[in-house]
Each structure stands twice: as C-alpha cells, then as structure tokens.
Amino acid sequence: MREEARPKISKLCVYTDPSDPSLVVKDGYQWRKYGQKVTRDNPCPRAYFRCSFAPACPVKKKVQRSAEDRRLLVATYEGEHTHSQPLSVEPPAGGSLTPSPVKVQTSSPTVTLDLTRPNPSLSPDRSSMETESPDEFQRRLAEQMVTTLTNDPGFTLALASAISGKFLGLTPDHCQ
C-alpha cells in the first residue's frame, strides 16, 4: 500500500444564492484566498484557499460552483486542520433558519451536505414526505447517498448535485 500524497479529501456542498458571487464557505475556519482560476471543466471560476489561522496548517480548500447548479457551491478540502476552530459558525441573523448539515463520512472521502439554505421552494413535490419531517427526509437522502457512494465513490459530485437539485424541485438529468 502507498500513502503518497494521500491527504484527507473532504467535499462540502453548500447551497448559496446564485446572486452571491462570493465563493466563501462559512465552515468556522479562517481562509485566505491565494488564487482563482477558470477551469475548462467548469465555466465558473475556481477559488483556492489556505488556512490563515495557522500558517502550519496544511489544509487547502478549493471552492467552485456546480456547473449545473450555480446555487450549489462545492468546496473540496485537502488535508486536516492541525488546530481547533478559531471561531464557531454563527447562525444567520434571521435566527429562524436552522442549518441541517448532513455529514456523510465514508471510507476515504467525507461528503458533507451543508444545507445552509433549507428549501427556497420546497413543496411542489412532497408526495413522498408528507408523513415524515423534513429532517427525516434529509436523513433518508443522506443514507441513499451513502449507499451510492459505497458502490461508486466517483459519483459523489454527481449524486450530490442530483440530490441538491431534488431539494429545489429540479431534475438535473445530465449530472456529471
């Protein structure tokens, strides 16, 4: 077995408003942006961040919007923090919103669905969740995602996009 260049890769999918150009993911850590590049795979610019709280922290973060859903931010974390969170994630000023981060930890990659924005328009398609709470619904989706991840880890992003789209009542048929 080799463990060369094998940092912990984590993915964090965060819903944000498409009108918000800030590729900043509030995860409780301090990040310093050190670059931005437009990849050919995605028309949206990809931002590169490094941990500014601890200079020795090897963690790097890449944030890019989903090519299909501009409201979905996909943050890729490389490595692990060698320190604690400098500050806790403060809830929105609204106070009514209750973020329900669905963290799914698999063998290697950690996929976290941080649904900071509950559901802008959740209701047109609630035929299979009228007897269960939204939290339970998310839990089921998370379990479903874990199952799929176990079978095809490479499908992570596509699945996350699909699930995310489902939350908004969308149906991204070509998720890749």
Partner DNA sequence: CGTATTTGACCAGCGC
Partner DNA sequence: GCGCTGGTCAAATACG
Q: Which residues bind DNA (CB under 7 A)?
A: 32-37, 39-41, 46, 48, 52, 60, 62
Residue 145, C-beta contacts closer than 8 angstroms, at least 6 positions apart? 104, 111, 113, 159, 160, 163
54 burial class (0-12, 13-18, 19+ CB within 10 angstroms)?
A: middle
CB nearer DNA, residue 33 or residue 166: 33
CB nearer DNA, residue 20 or residue 143: 20
- Least Cβ distance, residue 34 to DNA (angstroms): 5
Closest CA to 157 of 14, 38, 9, 11: 11
- Least Cβ distance, residue 167 to DNA (angstroms): 27
CB nearer DNA, residue 32 or residue 103: 32
- Is the distance from CB of 68 to CB of 165 less than 8 angstroms? yes
- Least Cβ distance, residue 76 to DNA (angstroms): 9
The sign of the CA dihedral 139, 145, 148, 149 is negative
CB nearer DNA, residue 41 or residue 152: 41
Closest CA to 141 of 98, 96, 111, 120: 111
- Least Cβ distance, residue 75 to DNA (angstroms): 13
